[in-house]
Structure 1
Amino acid sequence: MRYIELFSGIGGFRKAAELITDDTGLNMNCIAFSEIDKYAIKTYESNYNLNGEIRINNIVDFAAEKDKVEQLGEFDLLLGGFPCQAFSLLGKQLGLEDERGRILFSIHELLAAKNPQFVVLENVRNILKHDNGDTLSKILDFFKSHGYQYVNYVLLDTQNFGLPQKRARVFFVCSKKKLDIDLSQDSIINNFRKIKKHSLNIYKDVLDILDKRADSKYYLSERIKHTILADGSKNFKSKSQIDLNVARTLTATMVKMHRACQDNYYSDDFILRHHSHKDTAKEILFTAPVRKLTPWEALKLQGFDMQFYENAIASKVSEHQLYKQAGNALSVNTGYALLHYLFVHLKIQDK
């Protein structure tokens, strides 16, 4: 099965597809990828064996040149994490001057020219409610207008697939064939649990993720703790907690160290002695050792392995960029679970 990966980031979908190839014998072969962030590309290049596949880079510029699109070659499956802004413009004509509209137009060009059998795209869950559901309707109509007979979506949470992180994402699944399948989270979870042999990293909770020792630079100073641990401010109220067994959703801006109602922080008591300070009075924690996640731990929470991290570091990708990349990434295990369900368990390509 030949595929392209759009808006690839550090290749969450690609890593999932490669593991499925290794584990099941279903040959998933990447022929092209697109990404514009130079640091993400650096991490991508350091971790995947790029066997001559086309580097699309800026998909808007690429799709604007018909010769390039024609040279792309045929592929069966389009994978990607879609920029949600583009979909708010679906009710208007394609080819808008707006950057987001031009991104959508480029997808339109690829679908029209290459006519892939399947499309699997990931996005934030809020897109389901955006504009009172009108955006969702326009997304579904967009793919139907390109001849997809089956157009559906499912909400999947990373914590159900062996990674202790709350990360709910919506996945759109489109097929040129009419399919009669159960695309539900429960069915995908049940299939995932029945997989006897796989190469994924599976963790019971964050204690399986957190390293016993971390450099002092990751620890919070007593001064910054007053901000990090605060339950909001005058105009913003929240409940800050540390030492959560299942991590909060990683964000691309975690390097900025948001409050403990948004980011993940852990005490030495929790890491070393399994004593949680989740509900401990903040004043006590002002002097207790508390730290943020390391970049390696953030990548682990997304399903990437030590070799992946070491390859990126060896390529001189900064920790700042690794935090951003981990926060933007598709969880490998979640991508694997969905692709396995569709193409290994249901074998929709053979229906």
Structure 2
Amino acid sequence: MKHLELFAGIGGFRRAIDLIGKDLCIPIECVGYSEIDSKAVQTYQACYSPKDDERAIGDIVAFTAKKSNIRSLPNFDILTGGFPCQTFSMMGKQAGFGEERGQMFFRIMDILNVKKPKYALLENVKNLVNHDGGNTFKRIVAELEGLGYSVYYDVFDTADFHLPQKRNRIVIFATRAQSKKKPLKDFSAKNVINLFEQDYKKLSVLHYKNVCGVLSKKVDAKYFLSERIKPTLLSNGSAGFKSKSDINQIVARPLTATMHKMHRACQDNYYSQDFIESNGKINPVKTMSKDELAKLQIRKLTPEEAFMLQGFPSDFALKGRQKGVADGALYKQAGNAVSVNTIYAVLYFLIKNNYMEV
């Protein structure tokens, strides 16, 4: 199965497809990848060691501006991409297609229109379905159907696939290989979860019971919060902004691309050392006031732990760091990544039920 990965980041789709290939004995070849963030490219290349004939597309806007560039790509079976989501997110201005990042979906369409692979697998924020009263998503479906694809989708939570992180994302599967003998009628998060639940322990995906399986008991002192900043990060906010800021979440909050900026504990993930060392058995949040909590040793996630919460091996962060990628960039890469187990589970369901030819 030949694969083109767009908006690759640190290769969440590639990691999932590589593991599928290993587990189901399917020959896998990545023919190319696009990524504009130079630091993400450094991590990607350090982790996957792309072959010389693999196309490094770089800026997808510049690449797709010439159809000859698209035609020069090797043929491939599946296109994947977590296209930029900020413009559709509840956290942003929701400018949608009216912003340059929102136009990136049409660069996917440029490639699909020329190469016409059998499959496309795309990921975005949950709010994509509701953006602009549903009109944005209707346009996306209509564009894909206009090229002859049948389109299926649902919202998936990373926490349902044995990665302890709450992260709701829409996954869209588009296929030109619709079988009349076996039409795809049962594509849903529920059915994907049920199959994954049966088999995950014998598969190559990383999996954890809860966040304690990810947290290291000893980390560098630089990851601990200073006495000055702890009261601010633990605060529930001011009159203009109120939200419950709790630490020691047994299932982590959604990782964000800006977690390196260290938001309050209502948005980012922080853990007390006693919670970590006791594997979650001691949780002072239940008994202490915010003032008392602020006197404890509390730290943020390390980049390695952030990568693990997305289903990547911890050494992926280490490999990026060895190439000179700083922690701030690694946090951004983890926050922007697709969750490996979610994508793996979707592909596993499609392949095991013969909805994808491999």
For this structure pair, what is the TM-score category when the shorter chain's length is used for normalisation?
A: over 0.9
Matches within 5 A, 1:157-196: 157-178=157-178, 179-195=183-199
Matches within 5 A, 1:239-278: 239-273=244-278, 274-278=281-285
Report the RMSD for the aligned CA atoms in angstroms.
Answer: 1.7
Residue deviations 1:209-265 (CA, integer Å, cap 9, x gap): 110111111111222111100011120010010111100000010001100000001
Matches within 5 A, 1:213-228: 213-228=218-233
In the alignment, the residues of structure 1 paired with residue 146 and residue 275 of structure 2 have an alpha-carbon distance, to the nearest angstrom, of 53
Write the letter of the residue equivalent to 2:192: I
Per the TM alignment, residue 145 of structure 1 is displaced from its structure 2 partner at its CA by 1.1
Write the letter of the residue equivalent to 1:346: N
Match of 2:147 in 1: 146
In the alignment, the residues of structure 2 paired with residue 339 and residue 104 of structure 1 have an alpha-carbon distance, to the nearest angstrom, of 21
The number of aligned residues is 342
Aligned to 1:349, what secondary structure does the other structure show?
coil
Identity level (%)? 46
In the alignment, the residues of structure 2 paired with residue 162 and residue 308 of structure 1 have an alpha-carbon distance, to the nearest angstrom, of 19
Distance 1:89 1:216, change over 3 A: closer
Residue deviations 1:77-114 (CA, integer Å, cap 9, x gap): 11010124499339xxxxxxx63465344222211110
Write the letter of the residue equivalent to 2:184: D
Match of 1:230 among 216, 235, 243: 235
Match of 2:22 in 1: 22
Match of 2:336 in 1: 328
Per the TM alignment, residue 122 of structure 1 is displaced from its structure 2 partner at its CA by 0.2
Match of 2:92 in 1: none
Residue deviations 1:33-91 (CA, integer Å, cap 9, x gap): 0000000000000010312211111111111122211110211111010124499339x
Aligned to 1:324, what secondary structure does the other structure show?
helix
In the alignment, the residues of structure 2 paired with residue 102 and residue 140 of structure 1 have an alpha-carbon distance, to the nearest angstrom, of 15
Write the letter of the residue equivalent to 1:328: N
Write the letter of the residue equivalent to 2:315: Q
- 1:290 to 2:291 alignment: no
In the alignment, the residues of structure 2 paired with residue 160 and residue 258 of structure 1 have an alpha-carbon distance, to the nearest angstrom, of 25
In the alignment, the residues of structure 2 paired with residue 171 and residue 54 of structure 1 have an alpha-carbon distance, to the nearest angstrom, of 25
The farther-off stretch of 40-49 and 18-27 is: 18-27
- Cα pair 1:242 1:277 within 8 Å, conserved: no
- Cα pair 1:39 1:317 within 8 Å, conserved: yes
Aligned to 2:241, what secondary structure does the other structure show?
coil
Structure 2, unpaired ranges of 5+ = 89-94
TM superposition score normalised by structure 1? 0.93
Aligned to 1:14, what secondary structure does the other structure show?
helix
- Cα pair 2:285 2:293 within 8 Å, conserved: no
In the alignment, the residues of structure 1 paired with residue 68 and residue 117 of structure 2 have an alpha-carbon distance, to the nearest angstrom, of 18
In the alignment, the residues of structure 1 paired with residue 18 and residue 34 of structure 2 have an alpha-carbon distance, to the nearest angstrom, of 17
- Cα pair 1:5 1:13 within 8 Å, conserved: yes
Write the letter of the residue equivalent to 2:59: N
Match of 2:108 in 1: 107
Matches within 5 A, 1:77-156: 77-84=78-85, 85=87, 88-89=96-97, 99-100=100-101, 103-148=104-149, 150-156=150-156
In the alignment, the residues of structure 1 paired with residue 102 and residue 47 of structure 2 have an alpha-carbon distance, to the nearest angstrom, of 32
TM superposition score normalised by structure 2? 0.91
